[in-house]
Structures are given as C-alpha cells and as structure tokens.
A and B are shown apart, each in its own frame.
Chain A
Amino acid sequence: MTLDTIALILLGGVVLGALYALMATGLALVWTTLGIFNFAHGTFIALGAYIAWQIASTDAFGAGFVVGSLVSVIGMFLIGTAVYYLLIKPFERSPDIVVKSVITTLAGATILENLINIAWGPRNKQLGAVLTGDIQIIGLVISRNEAAAVAVSLLILAALGIFLQRAPLGRAMRAVAQNREAAQLMGIDVVRLYAVAFGLSAALAAIAGILIGSIRFMNPLMGSDPLMKALIVVIFGGIARFTGPIYAAFIVGLLEAFMTYAVGLYWSPTVLFVIMIVVLVAKPEGLFGKHRKSV
C-alpha cells in the first residue's frame, strides 16, 4: 500500500462520509423529534435527485443545475410534510406509533419508488458534474466536483447545527423532542413543528440525492443502500448529540473505503455490520451516545 493509495482511499472515505453524514442527520432529525424511523428516507433521496434532474438536465427542462436543485429541495420539503400528514399524523397519539409508522413509511417508500419507475424508468441517469477539473489540496489531487460536494455537505450540516442551537424554531424542535407535553403547554404548535421537521429531513435527503446524482449516477433504487448505511451511522453514532451521527458518518465512510480496498466491494458490508454489532454490544447507546435521546 503506497502513500498515494492511502491518500486516495482517505479521500474516497471523506466523500462517502460527508454524504452519509447528510443522510444520517436527516434520519436522526425525524427519529429524535418524532420518535419514529422513516423508511421512506432512501426514496426521498432518489426522488430529490430525479426532481433535480427533471428540472436541470438538458434532456428534460434544461433550466440548469442551480434552479433544479432549488426546486428539488423546496419540492421535497413540501412532499416531506405531505408524507407526514398522510402517513404519520393519523397515528399521532397511538401508543404503538413506532410499529405503525414502520409499515406506513415502508408502504410510502414502495409507492414512491414505483412512481419514480413509471415516471423516469429504471435506467441509470446522471445529473452531470457541476464543476469540472481537479484541484490540489496539500498535494492530493481531488476532482472539484467531489470537493464541492464535501464542502456543501459540511456547510449545510453547520447551518443545521446553528439552526437547532440558536433559532427559536430550532430550539422549539429540540424542546418537542424532549418533552412533547411541556412544549404544548408553552404554546408550541406540535403538529406543525413535526411537519417542519419531517420536511427538513426530506430536504436534507434531496440535497444528498442531488450530490450523489452529481458525483455518481442515479436510479430508482439509489437510496436503499445509502439508507442502510445511514441507519448504521445513526445507530453506530448514537443520537444523544447532533454531532454524534456526523462523526460516525465519517468513521463509517472511511471504514467502508478501507474495507473496499482490503476485502473488496462484496465483503465490505458484512465486515461493517460485524463491527457495528461489536460496537453495539459493547456500548448500546452508540459510540458517542448518552443514555437519553435528544437532538
């Protein structure tokens, strides 16, 4: 293993990690505020990418990448809130909402996936690189496009972190996550806040989808593998802190990159799962977890 290979693997791992961090944070946002797991998150990723493609690609409307991304992010925010009202709100106060929402979000994922299939077909598409050429960072060559993807992910995560810490709406979101009833008594509109959290999570999924579509390619099932990884990240990192899944995402990304090099693409998920189980047995709250859930 030469130094160059290690550098390449590291870079690949960082890119993967940034994408996983975006997806995992979206998942964790819903998990911590609503207390449910959204199995449609992977399909949100695909749908976001396809909406952006439809608006941006020269094969379709050809409005350009920026317009396409904006429409996709805003559109996915609205679709996310709609999914909340249709699939989750009806079970708002039922004690087994976790079980019911597993089924309803799985159903939603399947329906959306088939709609994508009907609308855009199963063949691979590419959103196309936004930036071309390479740049050098401390002697490492990385494509501008991938560097931009990492930068965008980190910026968005930082913005989200500041929003949750400082903005009144973000604070209200954390409050609802920690004590729904007390939040209600303070005049917070819990249902609307849940809808906003779900919409934000879907918008994050759309951004992840757009970045994947731009540095790799897209198909209707593109979200299922990242969803699995994001699930690992969320469980691996714990959700006690906003930053838990982010660190874990980079660890999982780097691990995956090294595994792919060491044991090949075929075996790397197996090894990842083994590591995850070992971590969970040793520390059930996750690597960075504490005993209680909060954003």
Chain B
Amino acid sequence: MTQPLLLDVRGLDGGYEPLQIFRKIDLQLAQGGAVGLFGPNGHGKTTFLRTLSGIIDPWDGNIFFEGVQLNRPGPRGSRRWRNFNYDAVTRRRMDAKAVARAGLIHVPQGNLLFPDMTVAETLSIAPYASSGRASASERLDYVFHLFPRVKERRTSKIRFLSGGERQMVAIGVGLMAAPKLLILDEPTLGLSPKLRGELSEAILTIRQSGVPLIVVDQDIAFLESLIDVLYLFDHGRISRRIEKADMPTHEEIMKLMFGEDHQ
C-alpha cells in the first residue's frame, strides 16, 4: 500500500441506545476523492454521519482517517455497564472535537448554527477546528468570493437569514475550518430551485478546488456531477457501491431501491 486511504470505515455499527440504526457499514474514500450517499429518508444516513463525526459513539467497527484511528478500538462495553450512567462510568469512544481538528468537517443537515450571533462572529469561530492548517483571513476571502451573499450579510444575526443564506453560512463555516474532508448532509434540502442551483454550483466549485467530499443528496444528477463513487444506503446498510462509469439514471435508482417502475 502506497498511500493510506483518506477515510476508511470498516464494519461500523451504531445508533441510539437501545435502537441500532445502521450496521456493518464499509466505506472507502481515496485521497482527493468524493463519494455520494443516496437513499430514502429515515434509513440512517444522518445517524451514520453523526457517528462518523463523533457526535454519537459507534457501537463497533473502526474509522481510520488518513491512516489514524479516530475511535477507541474494539466493541463497546458489556451490557451490564451500559445500564449505568454512560457519561460517568463509560469513556466516550469518540471525540467530536478531535475529529474536527483532524480535518474531518461535518456540515449537518438543516444546520441552525448560532441564532443570536452575527455571520462574521460565526465564521470567526470556525478556525478552532482548522488548528493552524490555514490562515483565517485567506479562508474568509475565499468564502466571501464563493458566496458574495454571505459577505453582504456579514453583520446580520443568523436568525434573520433566509434558509438558503443560512446554508451558505453553514458551508462557509465548514470551509473556514480548512477541511481535509468535507461532509455535506443534504446541502440543498428545502431550498427553492433557483437557490438550489446557486448552491450546487458553489459546491461544484469547492469540489473542483480539490476538497474531498461526502455528500448526501436526493438529486442523482447533482451527485453525478460531483462524485466518483455512489453508495446506496438502504435500511441501515450499504446495499450497493456504484462507480461513476456505470452511474444509473434516476429511474434505474428507483427501480434498484424499490424494485418496480416508478414512471
């Protein structure tokens, strides 16, 4: 092996105790690559991404980022110990802060950010995660260049922004953190077609500048323009891995997922 994979997820189990949401997830991402996750709502994509970024603990399996293991190895403790106070008795198996500082940046779905802080203040917090990987002012110029709208609204409080502007700020915050891998969870969810187009274009620019991505979206055409590999997510498992070369159309995907024609 010459170069370690950027992200290597092996046999990951997880969920919200006592409910297991996803099982045995394997996902590989090469340096400089981009993958898409596609699947119906409520099948565990977001939970999987929350586990990946350390918000909730994985139950079993391993996560390697640039060859470094992010989680504590081995399955979690026995059931007897889990009945006691998790935060007092059990050590966390993953640390969101460490994940972010390693460069794995997660822009969550429907991010509400900090309602009572201004856009500029919000952007000024992000460099916590970049831990000296990039100069903050350069990143800020880049974000303002990419989203001129964010620059216009930089003195407004987040709660006065529209949904689209908020999403732009959220992605901008992710970029401020100088990501080695950027996770975007449904970045265009609930936006008007016009805004969706604007945002998709910006994400494409980000991708072309060489930032590796994991993108969840329901729009196959948008994903196809962005990624090398598509993973189909189904009932908490990855049901299929599709290379870009044989990317299916929307109708074929529907057929794959639901087993019938949806014309």
B128 within 8 A of A: yes
Q: Is the CB of A171 within 8 A of B121?
A: yes
Minimum distance in angstroms from B16 CB to a CB of chain A: 11
Interface residues in A59-91 by Cβ distance below 8 A to B read 89-91
Minimum distance in angstroms from B124 CB to a CB of chain A: 6
Q: Is the CB of A292 within 8 A of B86?
A: no
Q: Is the CB of A187 within 8 A of B116?
A: no
Q: Is the CB of B87 within 8 A of A187?
A: no
Q: Is the CB of B113 within 8 A of A187?
A: no
A263 within 8 A of B: no
A57 within 8 A of B: no
Q: How many A-B residue pairs have CB under 8 A?
A: 85
Interface residues in B116-136 by Cβ distance below 8 A to A read 116-117, 121-122, 124-126, 128-131
- Residues of B near A138 (CB, < 8 A) are none
B67 within 8 A of A: no
Q: Is the CB of B87 within 8 A of A91?
A: yes
Minimum distance in angstroms from B99 CB to a CB of chain A: 8
Task: Please report the total number of B residues contacting A with Cβ < 8 Å.
Answer: 34
Q: Is the CB of B114 within 8 A of A175?
A: yes
Q: Is the CB of A181 within 8 A of B88?
A: no
> Taking A94-B85, A175-B117 as contacts, is the C-beta distance between A185 and B53 under 8 angstroms?
yes
- Residues of A near B121 (CB, < 8 A) are 171, 174
> Taking A90-B88, A175-B114, A178-B117 as contacts, is the C-beta distance between A185 and B125 under 8 angstroms?
no
A123 within 8 A of B: no
Name which residue of chain A comes closest to B159, CB basis.
A292
Interface of A is mostly: helix
What 0/1 readout, one digit per residue, does chain A (186-201) give for beta carbons within 8 Å of chain B?
Answer: 1111100000000000
B221 within 8 A of A: no
Q: Is the CB of B116 within 8 A of A294?
A: yes
Q: Is the CB of B124 within 8 A of A186?
A: no
Q: Is the CB of A187 within 8 A of B124?
A: no
B112 within 8 A of A: yes
A168 within 8 A of B: yes
Residue in B86, B108, B116, B159 whose CB lies within 8 Å of A185: B108
Q: Is the CB of B85 within 8 A of A185?
A: no
- Residues of A near B55 (CB, < 8 A) are 181, 184-185
Distance A175 CA – B126 CA, assembled complex (angstroms): 11
Minimum distance in angstroms from A1 CB to a CB of chain B: 43
Name which residue of chain A comes closest to B176, CB basis.
A186
Distance A172 CA – B124 CA, assembled complex (angstroms): 9
Minimum distance in angstroms from B135 CB to a CB of chain A: 15
- Residues of B near A124 (CB, < 8 A) are none
B115 within 8 A of A: yes
Residue in B105, B115, B128 whose CB lies within 8 Å of A292: B115
- Residues of B near A174 (CB, < 8 A) are 114, 116-117, 121
Distance A181 CA – B46 CA, assembled complex (angstroms): 14
Q: Is the CB of A186 within 8 A of B173?
A: yes
Distance A189 CA – B128 CA, assembled complex (angstroms): 9
Q: Is the CB of B96 within 8 A of A171?
A: no
Name which residue of chain A comes closest to B53, CB basis.
A185
Q: Is the CB of B86 within 8 A of A93?
A: yes
A182 within 8 A of B: yes
What 0/1 readout, one digit per residue, does chain B (207-238) give for beta carbons within 8 Å of chain A?
Answer: 00000000000000000000000000000000
- Give 13 A-B contacts (CB < 8 Å), ordered by A residue: A89-B87, A92-B87, A93-B86, A93-B87, A172-B125, A174-B121, A175-B117, A178-B116, A184-B55, A185-B105, A186-B126, A187-B97, A187-B130
